[in-house]
Amino acid sequence: MNETPDTSAYMVAAYIANAVILIGYALSLWRRSVRERSPRQGE
Amino acid sequence: MTTDAAGTIIRRGMVITGIALAALACVYGLALFASPTERSQGLAQKILYIHPSAAWASLMAFGIVGITSLGYLLMRDRRLDTFSEASAEVGLAFGVAMLTTGPMWGRPVWGAWWQWEPRLTLTLLLVLLFVGYQALRTAIDDPEERARFSAVVGIMALVLVPFVHLSVYMFRTIHPQPVFLKPSAPSMPWEMTRTLLFSMAAYTLLYVGFVTMRYGIGKRREEQSA
């Protein structure tokens, strides 16, 4: 009977990369929304 | 006092994105602790709870760009162009997630990070087409011209979307066939299907949150440049 291969490193890497990309994009949207607003704050 | 319509849209997008990111955390929990480990692939199989969802969100985003682009050419409504721009950028973010997680599954299962086979090649072409779409938008200053030219590219990309989905049926390919969006029943046990369904719902909500925020940012830029 074949043993289940140890491929956990690939899963961990994929889950971390996925979270970094999606949370990173969410943060970039948040930063842009704050930056776009700032010139109007003095009005 | 002026009403900040764009700010309201952005805030709504932030709330939806927050809920969607919490749902994504639940997907991670379900995948890691409540879904069985597939015997022949090991834990790498659990990448398939995030990779197809990213692909789904990316193709949906690109498909919507095509539809809103067509709408812009027919109605010349600037809001449709602003939405197309937002959806294209969000689709690229999901596309990067898809193209990053895919090879991490392919390496242990196929023995290669990448295969020049139809599904992967067409997907890469679609993502590169939208990189070009972003470059085009940056290169044109006149808003009307930019919207018109971008709409044409968006519609051309829409033609590619069904080919990406159907490529696993049309060509000889080593890429797995779809679990959903096919005539027959889902080809996985319920514990796995449940997690993947929840993941696809979370990514869909994340798309809605992202695109709402990005649309609000686009609206605010328009207001400031007017």
B101: CB partners within 8 A, 6+ apart: A14, A17, A18, B47, B50, B51, B54
Give the mean model confidence (pLDDT) for residues B33-43.
91
Judge whether A42 is closer than 8 Å to chain B, CB to CB: no
Across B20-24, B139-143, B168-172, B203-207, least confident range: B168-172
State whether residue B112 is helix, strand or coil.
coil
CA-derived radius of gyration, chain B: 19
Contacts with A38 from chain B: Cβ below 8 Å: none
Task: Dump pLDDT digits (tens) for B46-66.
Answer: 999 999 999 999 999 999 999
Is the pLDDT at A42 greater than 70? The verdict is no
Q: Using CB atoms, which residue from A22, A32, A40 is nearest to B24? A: A22
Phi, psi (rounded to 5 degrees) for B189: -60, 155
Angle ∠(B62,B63,B64) on CA atoms, nearest 5: 90
On whether the CB atoms of residues B70 and B214 are closer than 8 A, the answer is no
CB atoms within 10 A of CB B145: 10
How far is Cα B4 from Cα A37, in angstroms, rounded to an integer? 10
Contacts with A10 from chain B: Cβ below 8 Å: 43-44, 47, 104-105, 107-108
Across A6-10, A38-42, B171-175, least confident range: A38-42
How far is Cα B95 from Cα B67, in angstroms, rounded to an integer? 19
Angle ∠(B88,B122,B184) on CA atoms, nearest 5: 95
On whether the CB atoms of residues B66 and B161 are closer than 8 A, the answer is yes
On whether the CB atoms of residues B65 and B86 are closer than 8 A, the answer is no
Contacts with A36 from chain B: Cβ below 8 Å: 217, 220-221, 224
pLDDT on residue B3: 62
Sign of dihedral through CA atoms B25, B28, B34, B35?
positive
Phi, psi (rounded to 5 degrees) for B38: -70, 135
Burial B205-219 (b: 16+ CB within 10 A, else e): bbbbbbbbbbbbbbb
Sign of dihedral through CA atoms B16, A26, B107, B102?
positive
On whether the CB atoms of residues B62 and B157 are closer than 8 A, the answer is yes
Average model confidence (pLDDT) for chain B?
Answer: 92
* Percent of chain A predicted with pLDDT > 70: 81
Query: Taking the complete model, does pTM exceed 0.80, yes or no?
Result: yes
Quick one: CA torsion of B132, B86, B20, B36, rounded to 10 degrees? -20
Token pair for B87 = 């959806």
Is the pLDDT at A39 greater than 70? The verdict is no
